[in-house]
Structure 1
């Protein structure tokens, strides 16, 4: 136990509260950076904050405040191995802070990238991490010598590694180019899969939401899977998809995606766009929200903003206000496109499947057909490829009257219609 404790690095957090930020927003931001530290395996010793118009161009917090922190740390014997900054630092700020504290200095973006490096399991995920790390570091190479020489092991060193980071720009540019080529191949491969699914008329649904909202829990519950699921930020990085059966047989492809987060750096969104590709081509999105979180409305807004920036705001959204079991509010009311649920409740799995079925129905067109008594196989196929409403057998005519909902271009409905018309 003591050995494990020794392995965990200790951190102090520096944060600037801008005049434009209210106390609640700033408190949320501090809470999030602390959670990110815990996810990365750091023990947070203390937070040091300062109210400012803008961060200091040289030392992030004001020079006087930094000197005060150094004195306080020495006087109160606060040991730390790393300084975490709740913003993206410039090269100059990073360099000055590393010189003052004589330890590693990691900004918010580097911390997120470090977590991504820990979490990525697939080849694609690992390439995406390395691409994002290299793109982040390329403009910061000059003047990074001091902080790089102090990196050592542990947090902030996963991925490209210290030796690669100290090599020249040409090498890093060349590596970025190679990674992009490899990712392009993976993207083409994924596009071929998607095209096949489209030909097979598979209806696609993607789970999206703020990090740690419970997407993986719902993916596991709905598809009876065992994907990684833990109370950590960015527990899911690698895209996963699995078939889900709703409405007595209708087959839907459900995909899990990486969690969104406030102030996600642009190049990080771009580097991880392929983990959101499944969501980008979805017919319906399921937006999972941690309803128990005090800032759940802010999380909803963040997700909507990112969906808009990814040109996904036109995809129909079914919202799951998750973790209902942790909410004391007695006046929780469902609406057509919103459900209050808990992934811990077995009965809510049926609720979500039914809500998804009702929601998908609005995206399809109604059809009616009549089939002979020996059409068991066709009816079974209709249940898989369309949303069946009713199947009634008329003993007088010895035919099945089938009502349901299907895509415009449904091949099975088209074949049945053609056959019926040719027989008339």
Structure 2
């Protein structure tokens, strides 16, 4: 009997380019680079090399400056690089110019995060929202190309031809976008019906918000004895999950887990997920979960607050500083969070560790209820 060998899957030789741009206010640079690599790994991408750098200015045509571009051209030539993934979002022109200069496929932060969302969406609405965002992103890339688009088509790590006529492709995208918006509108009407029923019954709603991988799903599981997927990876949760919340056998209301936020989150995603995120408008309390083991926790709070502002959410907030068991000097940490009020310190992985949150919710009641 012959041994059947499995075919070897050869991935395109890939270079990761991590950039600290002038707009990036991250205090811990290494942590930002690690987050970028985590995004790549969350998308299941194998890479061969990394290049990290800081930019003092952004070039309108290539994003990177002339000197950095020359360095990248040399690396790509010497190492036969086939694909390059940037940690930042590029506009269509920059992506095309870089692809031509580096002689390889170029993908940006937006494409990377969109693909992660695509793989993680499980509900019908989540899948529609991600597809809408991906098509809107694709349209910006197709619009600036010539009649044939074989040079820069497809997804990260996927080889393929793709010689599709530009006008025909754009028409197809527009038709699909229109259909998706219609389907999402129908789902939103259904959501409004459910929401109206809940509002009439005056059931309080608590929503978990926060940076991706802060521990929101773990908190939901511990509080409600659920088994929502809680993985130590970016964007493990994409679909909103709602559970009944009981404290001391008394129903306090409903608690929802929401998609996590991230630095420079693509605006196309915020727009696509707006119907889901508008659920926050009906919340009586937001639990803003913070991973205190992350050195950039203050920057991450700022990111979350900025997104909430962008989608016009103004609700009472309880800052939930999670993973406190990983902090050595709790007294110093208590001092560093003094400006975030009200707040509690917890460790969501155990009933004892989450007790401060349970105590808070026991005595909490919505205003005007």
Q: What are structure 2's unaligned runs of at least 5 residues?
A: none
Aligned to 1:33: 36
Q: What are structure 1's unaligned runs of at least 5 residues?
A: 366-406, 408-424
Task: Report the CA distance between 1:344 and its aligned residue.
Answer: 1.6
SS in structure 2 of the partner of residue 352 of structure 1: helix
CA contact (8 A) 1:8 1:41 kept: no
SS in structure 2 of the partner of residue 12 of structure 1: strand
Aligned to 2:69: 66
SS in structure 2 of the partner of residue 42 of structure 1: coil
Aligned to 1:48: 51
SS in structure 2 of the partner of residue 24 of structure 1: coil
CA–CA separation in structure 2 for the residues paired with 1:230 and 1:268? 21
Task: Report the CA distance between 1:179 and its aligned residue.
Answer: 0.7
CA 1:3–1:88 in 2, change beyond 3 Å: closer, same or farther? farther
**CA deviation map 1:306-356 (0-9, x unaligned):** 11222212x111221001121112315498831111112221333322212
CA–CA separation in structure 1 for the residues paired with 2:158 and 2:257? 27
SS in structure 1 of the partner of residue 354 of structure 2: helix
Matched, 1:179 2:180: yes
**CA deviation map 1:7-51 (0-9, x unaligned):** 666532224444565673654432322221111112343332444
Task: Report the CA distance between 1:178 and its aligned residue.
Answer: 1.0
Aligned to 2:60: 57
CA–CA separation in structure 2 for the residues paired with 1:288 and 1:164? 45
- 1:293-312 to structure 2, matched below 5 A, reads 293-312=294-313
Matched, 1:24 2:17: no
Matched, 1:240 2:245: no
CA–CA separation in structure 1 for the residues paired with 2:242 and 2:162? 35
CA contact (8 A) 1:321 1:338 kept: yes
Calculate the aligned-residue CA RMSD, in Å: 3.0
Aligned to 2:328: 328
Q: How many residues align?
A: 357
- 1:146-161 to structure 2, matched below 5 A, reads 149-151=151-153, 155=157
CA contact (8 A) 2:222 2:350 kept: no
Task: Report the CA distance between 1:86 and its aligned residue.
Answer: 2.1
CA–CA separation in structure 1 for the residues paired with 2:206 and 2:277? 12
CA 1:12–1:5 in 2, change beyond 3 Å: closer, same or farther? farther
SS in structure 2 of the partner of residue 342 of structure 1: coil
Task: Report the CA distance between 1:190 and its aligned residue.
Answer: 0.7
CA–CA separation in structure 2 for the residues paired with 1:341 and 1:81? 46
Q: Which structure shows the bigger proportion of residues in strand conformation?
A: 1
Matched, 1:124 2:125: yes
Matched, 1:278 2:279: yes
- 1:11-410 to structure 2, matched below 5 A, reads 11-19=14-22, 21=24, 24=27, 26-75=29-78, 78=79, 80-144=81-145, 149-151=151-153, 155=157, 167-313=168-314, 315-331=315-331, 332-333=333-334, 337-358=342-363, 360-361=364-365, 363-364=366-367, 407=369
| Larger mean Cα displacement after TM superposition, 54-63 or 170-179 | 54-63
CA 1:249–1:39 in 2, change beyond 3 Å: closer, same or farther? same
CA 1:312–1:185 in 2, change beyond 3 Å: closer, same or farther? same
Q: State the TM-score, normalized to the length of structure 1.
A: 0.75
CA contact (8 A) 1:11 1:46 kept: yes
SS in structure 1 of the partner of residue 98 of structure 2: helix
CA contact (8 A) 1:246 1:252 kept: no
CA 1:147–1:64 in 2, change beyond 3 Å: closer, same or farther? farther
CA contact (8 A) 2:229 2:236 kept: yes
CA–CA separation in structure 1 for the residues paired with 2:162 and 2:358? 48
CA 1:135–1:73 in 2, change beyond 3 Å: closer, same or farther? closer
